[in-house]
């Protein structure tokens, strides 16, 4: 396939197609952006850049929800900026309210023009609970304790013997019961 295609004027133009593998983020952005733009009026770029806009501390307790554009915009109507709806946990809502002017200027700098005039806060749970990644354990039965005692029976040093027994108990409690 040629890298040049003829446009309607008969002149060749360059295509913007890349060859080879593409990053997953680029592909998912192409799929998600139109849906997010239609449903919430924004792109994944704002969501991805949110921690850089508000800072890590506020980013953990806030997230941009949608952009509300004024209704009845005709071609002769002058441009009116949007309202950014931000979900915030109660502990972060007051801090974000005090930093509204700074956040507005950073959001508009992100878009590259005066796109957002005000911020509307909606208090709701934002933080995702952390998943407990510790391995599941089971209580040891009498046979396991006997097996551990036999394993460390020949150890003479009492501290080493206790440490190895504790290690064996922790290891066996992670294994399925036999």
C-alpha 171/C-alpha 137 separation (Å) is: 9
Chain segment 31-61, per-residue pLDDT in tens: 555 554 554 456 677 888 888 888 888 888 8
Instruction: Note whether 62 and 46 are within 8 A (CB).
Output: no
Mean pLDDT, range 157-173, rounded to an integer: 93
Residue listed under structure tokens 């957002």? 116
Q: Domains of the chain by range and CATH?
A: 25-123 (3.30.300), 142-174 (no CATH)
Chain segment 98-137, per-residue pLDDT in tens: 988 999 999 888 888 888 889 999 988 887 667 777 778 8
The highest-confidence range among 75-79, 114-118, 140-144, by mean pLDDT, is 140-144
Band of pLDDT at residue 163, cut at 50, 70 and 90: very high
Please indicate whether residue 34 or residue 76 has the higher confidence score (pLDDT).
76
Mean pLDDT, range 150-162, rounded to an integer: 94
Residue listed under structure tokens 């109507």? 77
C-alpha 178/C-alpha 176 separation (Å) is: 6
Residue listed under structure tokens 């139109």? 34
* Nearest residue to 176 (alpha-carbon basis) of 148, 140, 149: 140
pTM score, whole prediction: 0.50
CB neighbours of 127 closer than 8 A, spacing ≥ 6?
60, 61, 89
Judge whether residue 166 has pLDDT over 90.
yes
**Two tokens, residue 51:** 């921690």
pLDDT above 90 covers a percentage of the chain that reads: 20
Structure confidence at residue 81 (pLDDT): 83
Judge whether residue 10 has pLDDT over 50.
no
Instruction: Note whether 44 and 66 are within 8 A (CB).
Output: no
pLDDT above 70 covers a percentage of the chain that reads: 71
Judge whether residue 152 has pLDDT over 90.
yes
């Amino acid at each position: 396939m040629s890298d040049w295609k003829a446009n309607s004027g008969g002149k060749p133009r360059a295509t913007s197609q890349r060859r080879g593998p593409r990053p997953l983020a680029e592909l998912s952005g192409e799929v998600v952006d139109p849906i997010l733009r239609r449903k919430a009026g924004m792109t994944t770029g704002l969501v991805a850049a949110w921690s850089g806009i508000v800072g890590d501390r506020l980013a953990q307790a806030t997230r941009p929800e949608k952009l509300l554009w004024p209704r009845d915009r005709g071609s002769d109507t002058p441009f009116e900026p949007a309202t950014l709806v931000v979900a915030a946990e109660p502990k972060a809502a007051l801090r974000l309210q005090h930093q509204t002017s700074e956040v507005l200027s950073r959001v508009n700098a992100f878009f590259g023009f005066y796109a957002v005039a005000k911020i509307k806060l909606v208090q709701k749970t934002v933080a995702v609970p952390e998943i407990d990644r510790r391995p599941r354990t089971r209580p040891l039965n009498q046979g396991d304790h006997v097996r551990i005692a036999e394993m460390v029976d020949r150890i003479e040093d009492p501290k080493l013997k206790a440490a190895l027994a504790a290690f064996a108990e922790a290891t066996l409690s992670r294994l399925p019961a036999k």
